Every structure is written in structure tokens, then in C-alpha cells.
Structure 1
């Protein structure tokens, strides 16, 4: 059948470039030590930065939520699916983010991907709007900009001066600057203070996707806004809840009028079944941990692990960009060598993914190491020794 043959040619072309993606099946809970495809593995690939995905208190809260509210919501939020747990979580997370956004309100969505689609498609619904997108933004932000009716202009990675030129030249009725806070493949931070200053000067929105910062950055885990001590009504903040928060979904925090606009206009929110309320119930416990003494202790331990990896690695050919976040890339270059490195580590019981184009630029294929507060220093030492040996053995 020619239709199938055409698909198979596409798959062969992907394989010829060393870009075939493969899934592995985890048989135990998300944690550093897992059983994967029948093998015991030490994992450095999850975004469970605070080690909350298997936290006993959160598991108990999820079980309690299921007993209270059942397994599913049954409908979209605007029909009958908006439960008490959803409302409580939105109230609590809005209060948590209140120091950074005046008159804040929050909205809970099923995933971070949907949250980004919702924000950009709603704020950018006017053809006279313009979205200014950071060059290394996550795919969900790129797709959100495509879904919007607004024009799109891309500015170079971290280039505040370039962005200012674009904003100064804009004749759009609504200007929207959008950026990741922590870039998922490099672990570096966006220059948010400079970006916010520009948005306030030119009357633009600043949409911040803090997927990899919420729960991790800031004294109280409020993310990049707390890290940089930012507060402004120009901010529209997206926090992901399936990474450091350990559960699932995402929230948008912004001025109450912005959130009401999303309720009325954001198609990814309006036209989908609400997430199970048990998840929102569990997230109340997760939020308490993030903002409490245990969350602070976990962030301190995570910082120690990041420092330990930094001192233990002794790379000569491969490169490790400076990163103070749990995302610690080891840039190798070619796709084949990156895949061979990941395979070698896997053979040693170390689960570290190889990331290749188009997720990252050509010739920057890498090992993406992610650290969790559930790792130990011995875990990190084992990984560093294996990488050092592996690099030394590659011709």
C-alpha cells in the first residue's frame, strides 16, 4: 500500500540521520532507583527535581482525593467538571504567587503544554497583536504562537538589546514577550529582570514559562519570579506541576482580568475535560511541601548535588555549559556519538537520555543529566566517574 510505504520511507529517513526515538518502560515509581524494562537502573532523566513524585504524603493525598472525588471529572470545567479540589488549588496557588503579581488569580489546566497554548492563543487572538518569542523557547510556546492569530517575531537567545529594537519598532496594538525561565536543554536562565523592564517600558505582556523553575528556584520555591525578586501586573506566569511539584497539570497565574479572559477565550481550557480532581487535591499537599521547611531542605540538598557534579566531572573533549539548575547537559556534538555514550551508560545501569536535533541545534547532541533531591552524593559520584571514564575512552 503506497500510503504505508510513504510513511515507512519517512521512518527510514529519520533512522538514517540517527534521530529515531525509542521508549523505555518504567515498572516502578518515578525515583532515582527504578526498574526499567526488567532492569534495575539509576536514573538521571526525570524532571522530578524535588523528589516528590513518590512522596508518601502526596501519594496519601492522591488516594484521599480519589476517595472524595472519584477517578475522573466527567466534563470540562465550564460544564460540570470544575470540582472543589480544583477551586481550592487555584486559590492556594494564587496566594502562593501573590507577592509577585498584583490582584493575582490562578487557573489550573491539564498540562503545561495546554497552559502555554491557552495563554498565547488567547492573548494573541487579535490579528493586530505581536508575539516576541525567545529563540530557544519550548515547543509548546512555539505551537502556542502558531495557534494565535498574532504576528510572530523571534529574538536571539537572551538578547535583550535585540528585543528592545523589536519592541521599539512594533506598531501592534498588543505586544506579548514570551520566554522559558529555565531553558530545558541547557539549564540556563532567561534574563527576566531585563525582559520585564522592557515590557513595562513598552506596555507589553511578559509570559514566563517556569516549567523548570517552579518549586526549584527561590527561597520558598516560588520559582524564577522569586529568584529574581520580580513583581509586576505585566507578568503572566505558567507553572508546571508534573516536574518539581511531582504530580501533574499546570497553572497560570496573572492579574484576575487576564485569567477571566482565559476562561472566556482560551480554547485549550474551554474545550477539554478537566483533570481528575484527585490530582488537584494531591497538589495541595505538594504546594505545602514546596513552600515549607521540607521544601527548603530539599532545595538545599539539590544545590549540594549540583555542586558535587560540577566538581566531580573532569571533561576534556565534551562540554558542560554553566548551569546552576538541576538540568546539567553534557554536549557531545554528533548524533551517533551521543547515542553511543547513552548506550554505554545504560549498559552500566545508568539511565541518561541522549538529546538530538531537532530538540537541540544541529551538532549539539548531548546527554541531558537531570538531578533530583532524591539522589545521593554517591549516586552523583557514580555518574560522574562513569562519564569521565567514558569520555576518556572515546577516540
Structure 2
């Protein structure tokens, strides 16, 4: 079974090479996208996904921004977690129900699920962003394996990741080897060993480390210390990793502004480390003024992860729309509303065309989901200064 999977994967990559798909999975092409961002001092937006609709929304928003700003190739990151102990994104790609091996789930079934889901996601991204596609061909995607935990809180080695399955790693542009729950020296040693493992398997990926776990859900700075600039410098030197996630005071899953510790970034910048930092904690970043968001790119930040806002802020809007469709059902006016006007009033149709009267049930909430994600991505790109990638930008 593994041999068959490997053959199919090779064929897919060969086709991708001939078509020059904007989804890049190889080391050199991935690094070029980060280098483009670094040269422009722009933070690459990396948006998470847990299903196909989210991928479409991300790409649709990026493609619209590219088209409206005359950007021929817009560098965009897209990521998913696999065995994260808080939330696993990739395993829920088709359905949410799954059980981690560490919680008693069948490891073989879990691995099959993750590999299948990753293949589905990668094929969808590849086809959607194929070069020359009139709608989405301007988007150049990287696919990132986020929070690949070597160890869990307490130092226990994780059973839930697929970090050491090379055929799975082939489906990603970059990998975050997250050993932040180990002491610093162990983190450096384990991270360097992981790079050596991939090289021994004939794989070369952009690798990202992690120093200090970013706080979540209102824990704030008291519960999660900022990363020492000395350790950032040492980690990159000792591991050979291309990227690293420090804690600079940002916080995830929380809209409250806990404060970017600019002095940490300024010190890192003085040392000439270069654009190699990835920031987590979009909940804090989006609360900054636009000028401050863009300043991150001038202080060594080359990428930023964002996802929790989708279930937190877009999710409730989808539930509200679903409830509104149900509560507005009126058999005399045609059944379920086919849309809502600018004032929020239901719009009905008496058409017996199945495309019309089945549409509200099957399409309306999905289309709203995609549109809201696309709009949010468009806004994120604007705030980060992506217009500078345009042909007419100075």
C-alpha cells in the first residue's frame, strides 16, 4: 500500500513540474517566496485551513487582491496542524470526528486519515491555483505543516504526528518541528537531529523551529515569557533551520491586545539575523494599527499565522445565517429564502428550477463561508502592505 501511494505521489509531482503550478512544495521554490517577502519587508500571510471551503476562501481572497493590485504572482502561505494537542485541523478535513492515538485512537487508521486528507487538500490547491487559471492562477501557495510536536507539555514524545513519514512530508512545502516543551538545549539537539533525519531520507524542506509557546485564550505575558534574542540566534545557528517562531508578546484565540514586545524584535534586528521570524498570535496582531502591522516586516518577521478568527468570528455568522434561513421559511412565498437583501430582508422565488429552490439549502451558507473568509484574507493582505507586490508599486 505504501509503495502504491509513493508511485501515485511521484506522478502527481511530475505533472505539477510540467504545469508549473503555483502551489510550490520543493525547497528552492518555497525559499524564493519567503525571499520575495523579505526583500519587500512584507510579512507573508499564512492562513490555516481545516476543510476545502476554507482553502477556497483563502485562495479566492488572495486572487482578488492580486487581480485588483496588478500582482502577477502573490506569495501566500496556507497551513494545517496534524496532531496538535489543542486542535487538529487536517484530520477534520472531511469530517470532524477523530481520535488521537495518544487518546486511544488506532494509529494506523489515524495515519491513513491524515495522509488521505493531505493528498486531497494538496490536489485541490494544485488544481485551483494552476498557472494560467483565469480566476486563481496569480496565487503562489506554500503548504505548511504547522506545530509538528516532537514533545507535548510535560516533555512526553507525541504519538500524534507524522513527522517521520517521508511520503507525508512530501505533501508540504515547510515543516514546523515544535519541541518548545523541551529545555532549550534539547530543543536545539532534537531539531538538528530532525533535519538530519529528513536529509538521510533524501528530503529537503524549509524547516521552522519554535521557542517559547505563544499564550492562548487570555493567558497573557505572565503565563508565557518572551523569547530571549540570544536563544533565537543560537537556535538558528545550531539547528540550520531556516525559520523560527519566537514569543514576542502576541496571543492566540483572544482579541484583547496584550502587546507586541517591540524591544525584542528591535534587538533581533540589530543582530542582523535577517527575515527569518514567524509570528503566531494573529488575535493580537490584528488589533495593531496598520502601520504597526507593517513594521513587523521591517524587524525580521517574514511570516504570520492566522486561523482562530475563522471559527471565532466567521463561524457565528454562519450559524446566524442558517438560523435566519430556517426562521424565514414561508411556504406561501416560495419556501426558504434564496437570499437576503441589503436590509437583511429575505428574498423569495417561486421558480421551480431546482437550481433555485434547492440552492438555499445546499449553497447559501457554504457560499457565505467562502465569501467571508475571502474578504478577511483580502483585508489581511491589505493591512500587511501586499500592494507593494503590484506592477505599479514603487
Q: TM-score, normalised by structure 1?
A: 0.29
Task: Give 1 or 2: higher helix fraction.
Answer: 2
